[in-house]
Structure 1
Amino acid sequence: MPSQTEKTLRNKSEQIGILCVIVAGCLWGLGGIVGQYALQYKHIQVEWMIVIRMGLPGILLLLFSYQRYGYEIFTPFQNKLEAFRLIVLAIAGMWISQLTFYLAIQYSNAATATILQYLYPAIIAIFLTIQLKKLPSLAMIVAIILSIIGAFLLVTNGHFDEIVLPINALLFGLASAITSAIYTLYSVPLLLKHNTIIIAGWSMFIGAIIANFFHPFWRITNNLDIEAWLAILFVIFIGGMVGFVLFLVGIKRIGGAKGSVLSTIEPLATVIFSVLILKINFTISDWIGAACIIMMILLLSIKKSS
């Protein structure tokens, strides 16, 4: 039977874990806001930013993994099927997911892009229901209905006869949701056999190499001032790597189930930061739509936890 001291330490560890996951979600939300600032106010090209956004963290994660695990970082390439899966993951799951997400931000705003991307749990639920050939649970049906209502309100602002969201933003937002679902599902076999940081590092690095063929990182079309560079560094390190590390630290202390529930703070944080920092005008329909999608995420996360 654990002593009072052990219980206190366990509770403290869990509190730290909860704080880490919440801060990670807020940093990811801020990363989207700063990304919008870089794209819309500093006119940084999306394709170039994506190469840097994946390349630098990918290299740093692989260097960290090599220092800690040595040649174990190359084990995913010892099996041809796993190597192929990792390359597909890097292209479809990492590169295209990042590209479509930031293009959605460019054509709309960080809040809308993040909310649309977070439709991916509903996409996964529908896919697994079809694949497993079983009737969806009541919770899943409610979650899917919430996601449809939420997306409809965001896209139409509650008007049945028009789409108020730019069509490019809608298409890229939905594409980012689909590719995020692909990344989540396709990464499972690799994550069951290999370290999370190693897989994340390789998928970012390989994705950056592929993206570099389309827009080399040395080809900067705009003259970037200090504010633009600070925004890029924030997106890469604070909104990217620091958030990722804090999330891993958090789920190590509280478990993946609780972590997935708490990480739903990201879309909420993005909406709040968008309104407070960028003065984005969110209508009542937008707020209701965002609330529906956040409830959908929570519902599916809690269902997964149980």
Structure 2
Amino acid sequence: MTRGQDLLAGLGDRLAGLRGRITADAEMDKITWFRAGGTADALFQPADEKDLATFLKAVPEEIPITVVGIGSNLLVREGGIPGFVVRLSAKGFGEAELAAPTRIRAGAATPDKRVAALALEAGIGGFHFYHGIPGAIGGALRMNAGANGVETRERVVEVRALDRKGKVHKLSNADMGYAYRYSSAPAELIFTSALFEGFAEERDAIKAAMDAVQHHRETVQPIREKTGGSTFKNPEGTSAWKEIDKAGCRGLMIGGAQMSPMHCNFMINTGNATGYDLEFLGETVRARVLETSGIRLHWEIKRIGRFKPGHEVQEFLGQLL
């Protein structure tokens, strides 16, 4: 049997009654925007929050559970992902609605762009930056996603989540422990929805801000390539792309992976890159920037899963650790 078949067989009837979809040996390259990576032992797409809670209560704690969003900021290693991957369904977790004149409630699977669009419709300012982030709300909450000078933490009022036992938690903005591209909320929590607050603003002004975001993306970012967005976080006092450029890594290729010639903090799959190619390229860039500038770049892209034997990648390629 495959790893996935063995996992599901070992759980027997514990998963009986679930309404969501379970897929053994799920091909993650079909989910990630990089279009690369190995398989997950099993993929579960819950029908709704109640279904997710039932699943969490049924799966023993020793079995790993990894949560992914729409795959826009994700690199999956070729050795695959142990245990279950949970991907929230658009039907059960992808709705956004007005909760008050300047408040929006959105499910964790709601695309960031949808929240920006709803805010425009309702005349709520402060959400234009989501128009330029190609992800979903769950990921934005986890990593404090931001763009154009605005961050998620500026809009969050309350976050709803489930823990590993399926218990509901409500977290305030302070509970999320936000910092630059970071949240200290417990890693085991699966965010299911959030309440956001903006401010009243004229639709023309909101539309102009959204148009500016779109124009910026189209002119300086490789948005039509197979990419994971910004590869590294900006170091304090400088920009990641400037340090990458200074280290001579603009356009650098390893296998089918390349640092974009257009925006060198964007890593792209030129057609046949593997997860190994992409991660090895990223660590090569980190090593060269460290050597050139003395700066340790930190990944913004989330890397998950096992290394394929013989294809392990060391941080900074093992240098100066």
TM range (shorter): under 0.3
TM-score by length of 2: 0.24
Structure of greater relative contact order (alpha carbons < 8 Å, 6+ residues apart): 1
Scaled by the length of structure 1, what TM-score is found?
Answer: 0.25
**Higher share in helix:** 1
More strand by share: 2
